[in-house]
A and B are shown apart, each in its own frame.
Chain A
Amino acid sequence: MNGNGNLRVGLYICHCGTNIAGTIDVKAVAAWGETLPGVVVSREYKYMCSDPGQQLIVDDVREQHLNRIVVASCSPLLHEQTFRGATAKAGLNPFFFHMVNVREHDSWVHEDKQAATEKAKDLIRAAVRRVAFHKPLEKKRVPIHPDVLIVGGGIAGIHAALTLANAGKHVYLVEREPTIGGHMAKFDKTFPTLDCAACILTPKMTAVKKHPNITLWTLSDVTQIEGYVGNFTVTVKRHPRYIIEDLCVGCLECIEACVYKQAKYPDEFNLGLGKRKPIYIPFPQAVPQLPVIDRETCIEFKSGRCKKTCVEVCGDRKAIDFKQQESTETINVGSVILATGFQVFDARRLPYYGYGKFPNVYTSLEAERLINAAGPTQGEVILRDGRKPKTVGILHCIGSRDENTNRWCSRVCCMYSLKLAHLIKEHTGAEIFNFYIDIRTPGKGFEEFYQRLLNEGVHFIRGKGAEINTWPLDPSEEGKLIIRVEDTLIGKIRRIPVDMVVLSVGLEPHADAGDVRRLFNISCSSEGWFLERHPKLAPVNTFTDGIFLAGCCQGPKDIPDSVAQAGAAAAESLALIDSKFVELEPNTAYILEEACSGCKTCIPLCPYSAISFVEAKKKAEINEALCKGCGTCVAACPSGSIRQNLFEDEEIFEEIKGVLAHA
C-alpha cells in the first residue's frame, strides 16, 4: 500500500440509536465490511461516540494490532475530533482515521432502505481504500493573541465587552454610529418588568468608556480582516467626528453656541421625530459624551464662512477640528465577536398600511421615542398633527410571519406591542386596540404581563390588520385612520377608527449583513441572519474558528437572550484565549522539490501569497504558516509536484474508485 506496513483496518458502523440503524441495515453492512481487503475488525455499535464506543476502538487496536480506523457515523463536523482522539488514545497517529458520513448524508435523507444501505457501503468502501494512504501528521500549535475584537456596540456587544474586560482581556469595541447603545438606548421601558431602559443600560455604557481594558472606537468600520483563529489582523477605518476625543471634555457648550439658534435638521436618533443642529450629541447619555459635526449641514463645511461660534466657545481646549481626516488603525486580535444587531422592517414596503402617507401612522420604534421621557416630545404622546390620541391601534406582525415579506416570527413584537399598549395607555388614557394573528408570550413573566394587559382593559382583536384608510363611512369615522380587519373570532370584517396607528415592525438582518458576513468569512442562513455552527450545541460559534456571535445578528431575540448570548460568546472567547494555543488542521500544501519544474503556474493562484519562487533553485516554495490549505494550487500544478496533507491525490483517487467499485 503506502509504505506503512501491512494494512489492518478497524471498521465501525454506528447505529446512532435508530437515526442510522432505522434506515441502514447496519448488521448487513458490518458483515459485508469484513470482506473488504484490509479490514480486520468490522463492528456495529449503538453509539460509537459514547465512551464504550470509543473504548471499542482502543481495545481493538491493542488486541488486533490495527493500524487504520474508519468510523461510519454522523458528519465529521460533529465527531471527527472525537474519533481522532480515540485513535490517538489507542496509540495510533490520529490521522490514521477517516470518518464516513452515513447519517446526514445518507440515513436522514433517504427513505429507500436498500438504496441507503448500498450507499453506505459505497461510502465505506471509499474510506477504507482511502485510509490506506493516510500518513502520520501532526497538528501545528500556534499561540493565541489574547485581545478580542467586538463589532457592534448594542447591548450584546457592550455586555460581551465588559465581561471580557473584567476578566482582564483587552477588548476593541468597534461601533459605526457616533454612540454605543444600539436599539435599547431608544426605549423608554423594557418588557416584561417595565424597568427603565436608560437606568439599566447607561451605567453599562459608561462602564465601557471608563474601563481600562476597553478601547472604544465609534464612527468606525472594520474594513479588512486577515489571518486565522488566534491571529487575526484587523483594519479599522475611523471616520472623522471633527472633534478631537482627547481634548473634548464633553461640556457640550459648542452645541449651545452653534450659529443655528434653533435645531433645524431631522435628528437620526429620534428617527426624524425631533430636530438637531449641525453640531449635536445623539442623546443626552450618549457614550462617548462627545458632540459630532454633520458635514452635510454644517455651514463651515458648506461655505467655509461660518462664524464658528462653536470654536470660540471651546476656546483653549481646541477640541474642534474641521480638518480631521479619516484614519486607519491596524490591530491584532485572537478572536472576534460579531454583535451587529438588526434593523427594523421598512413599513413603506407595505403601502396599504399608509406609513409615510398618513402622518399619524407610526412604527413601533418611533412610538418608543414618543413615549420616551428623553425623546422628542419629552414623553408626551403628541401626534404629528399636534393632537393627543384618544384611540390607538397597534398592528402586530408587520413584516413578520408573512409570505410576501419575511416569513419568520420576530419574537419580540408581541411583547413590545403589549408594552407599548400599556405605556401609551398610561401616558394618554387612550383606548387601545391590538390586532394580532397569535399572541406569543413564551418567556419568564411574559404570559403574566399579557394577563395584566387584559385586565387593564386593552382590546385584543384576532386578525391581521388588512388596510388603513381615511375614507369615512359615517361621521364617527371623520378625520380618523380606519383600520380594516377580519376579526377571525367572530368571522366578520370590522372597521376600527383610531387617531393613531402603531405598526409593530419585525426584526430583519441589516441591509449590509451580506457584506459583513463576507468580510468575516462566515455564513448566513437563507434569511440573512448570521449562521451559528450548531443550532443547539454551538449557538454562538460560527463555522470560522475564533469568530463568535452575540445578540440579534444571529436571529431575533429580546434583551435577556441577547445578554445571555453575549455572555456565552465572551466565555467561548475566554476559553479560546486561555487555552493559549490553537491547533491548526495540518491540511497545508507542500512541494515535492525534485518534481517542481519551476513553471510558476501556482504562484498567482494563491490568495494568501503563500507561494514564492526561489530564483536560486528555480523552484516554487510554500510558506506553511501562510498556507490555509484550500488546495487550489495542488489541483493546478501541471507536474503534480504540489501535494496536500489530508487531501492527497491518491487519497481522493481511491475515494473515487471506492464509491464506484460496486457494479
Chain B
Amino acid sequence: MPEAKPETPAVGPKRFEPRIVAFFCNWCTYLAADLAGTSRMKYAPNMRVIRTMCSGRVDPQFVLDAFAHGADGVLIGGCHPGDCHYQEGNYKALRRVHLLKRLLREMGIEEERFRLEWISAAEADRLKTAVNDMVEKVRALGPLRLETTAEFFPEEVKVA
C-alpha cells in the first residue's frame, strides 16, 4: 500500500470555515440530503440548505444575494437531466447557471465558489462528496472578500 500522506493538521488558531448556502430541489437533492441523514453519513457542517420545489425556482438573485450577505460558496442541487419532477426546470436552471457564472467571474468571484450539481434522491454518497469537495475547495480559496473587489472599481473607472 502506498504510504498515506500526512493529513494537513487541522490545528492553528482558527481554521477558516467557509459558509456554503445551498438551494436544493424538493424532489431529488433535498431527499438525497435526507437519505444521507437516515444513512448516518457524515459530511462537513458548513452547508445551510434552503429548500425550493425545483432547481428552476432558483432566481439568480438568490445566488447574488447569498454572496452579498457573506456566503463563501453557493451550491444548487437539482434532479439529473431528464429527471426533473417538473420535466425541465433543471434545464432552465442550467441555462441560468451558465450566464450567472460569467457574471460572477466578472465580479471576481472564483469559479469554485458556485456550483450546480445533479444529485438524485438515491445519491446520498454523491451529495456527501459534493459538499465535502466544495467545502475543501472554498476553504483553500479563503473567505470571499467582495468589498475588496469592489474597491478596485473606482480605479478601473479612472483608467478607462
Q: Do A and B bind each other?
A: yes
**Contact flags A83-103 to B (C-beta < 8 A → 1, else 0):** 000000000000000000101
- Cβ-neighbour of A111 out of B42, B69, B82, B88 (below 8 A): B42
Query: Nearest chain-B residue to A635 (Cβ)?
Result: B59
Q: How many residues of B contact A (CB 8 A)?
A: 49
- Cβ-neighbour of A630 out of B48, B62, B83, B85 (below 8 A): B85
Query: Nearest chain-B residue to A634 (Cβ)?
Result: B57
Report whether B54 and A632 are in contact in the complex, using a CB–CB cutoff of 8 Å. Answer: yes
Report whether A109 and B86 are in contact in the complex, using a CB–CB cutoff of 8 Å. Answer: no
B116 at interface (Cβ–Cβ under 8 A)? Answer: no
B71 at interface (Cβ–Cβ under 8 A)? Answer: yes
A32 at interface (Cβ–Cβ under 8 A)? Answer: no
Residues of chain A within 8 A (CB-CB) of B84 are: 630
CB B91 to nearest CB in A, in angstroms, measures: 9
CA distance A653 to B69 in the complex (A): 10
Report whether B45 and A116 are in contact in the complex, using a CB–CB cutoff of 8 Å. Answer: yes
CA distance A428 to B45 in the complex (A): 64
CA distance A200 to B19 in the complex (A): 61
A525 at interface (Cβ–Cβ under 8 A)? Answer: yes
A314 at interface (Cβ–Cβ under 8 A)? Answer: no
- Cβ-neighbour of A660 out of B43, B71, B83, B87 (below 8 A): B71
**Contact flags A53-91 to B (C-beta < 8 A → 1, else 0):** 000000000000000000000011100000000000000
**Contact flags A101-114 to B (C-beta < 8 A → 1, else 0):** 10111101111100
Residues of chain A within 8 A (CB-CB) of B43 are: 109-110
Residues of chain A within 8 A (CB-CB) of B83 are: 518
Report whether A630 and B41 are in contact in the complex, using a CB–CB cutoff of 8 Å. Answer: no
Report whether A543 and B27 are in contact in the complex, using a CB–CB cutoff of 8 Å. Answer: yes
CB B68 to nearest CB in A, in angstroms, measures: 9
CA distance A108 to B45 in the complex (A): 11
Report whether A647 and B57 are in contact in the complex, using a CB–CB cutoff of 8 Å. Answer: yes
CA distance A77 to B38 in the complex (A): 13
Report whether A660 and B50 are in contact in the complex, using a CB–CB cutoff of 8 Å. Answer: no
Considering the complex, which residues of chain B in the window 48-90 have a beta carbon less than 8 Å from any beta carbon of chain A? 48-54, 56-62, 65-66, 69-71, 82-89
B21 at interface (Cβ–Cβ under 8 A)? Answer: yes
CA distance A77 to B28 in the complex (A): 12
CA distance A631 to B90 in the complex (A): 11
The winner among A75, A76, A111 for most chain B CB atoms within 10 A is A75
- Cβ-neighbour of B38 out of A104, A123, A521 (below 8 A): A104
CA distance A123 to B84 in the complex (A): 26
Report whether A531 and B53 are in contact in the complex, using a CB–CB cutoff of 8 Å. Answer: no
CB A526 to nearest CB in B, in angstroms, measures: 5
CA distance A75 to B33 in the complex (A): 10
Report whether B88 and A543 are in contact in the complex, using a CB–CB cutoff of 8 Å. Answer: no
CB A110 to nearest CB in B, in angstroms, measures: 4
- Cβ-neighbour of B37 out of A108, A122, A526 (below 8 A): A108
Residues of chain B within 8 A (CB-CB) of A104 are: 33-34, 36-38
CB A598 to nearest CB in B, in angstroms, measures: 20
Query: Nearest chain-A residue to B37 (Cβ)?
Result: A104
Report whether A659 and B52 are in contact in the complex, using a CB–CB cutoff of 8 Å. Answer: no
A655 at interface (Cβ–Cβ under 8 A)? Answer: yes
Query: Nearest chain-A residue to B127 (Cβ)?
Result: A109
A466 at interface (Cβ–Cβ under 8 A)? Answer: no
Report whether A655 and B50 are in contact in the complex, using a CB–CB cutoff of 8 Å. Answer: yes
Report whether A103 and B37 are in contact in the complex, using a CB–CB cutoff of 8 Å. Answer: yes
**Contact flags B2-37 to A (C-beta < 8 A → 1, else 0):** 000000000000000101010000011001011011
Residues of chain A within 8 A (CB-CB) of B65 are: 653, 656-657
CA distance A608 to B61 in the complex (A): 25
Residues of chain B within 8 A (CB-CB) of A649 are: 59, 61
CB A532 to nearest CB in B, in angstroms, measures: 11
Residues of chain B within 8 A (CB-CB) of A636 are: 92
**18 pairs across A/B with beta carbons < 8 Å?**
A76-B51, A101-B49, A109-B40, A116-B45, A126-B50, A518-B83, A524-B120, A525-B122, A526-B120, A543-B27, A630-B85, A631-B52, A632-B92, A635-B57, A635-B92, A647-B53, A649-B59, A652-B62
Report, nearest first, the 3 A-B pairs whose CB atoms are least far apart. Answer: A104-B37, A631-B57, A632-B56
| Interfacial residues, chain A to chain B (CB-CB below 8 A) | 75-77, 101, 103-106, 108-112, 115-116, 118-119, 122-123, 126, 518, 521, 523-526, 531, 543-544, 587, 605, 607-608, 628-632, 634-636, 644, 647, 649, 652-653, 655-657, 659-661, 663
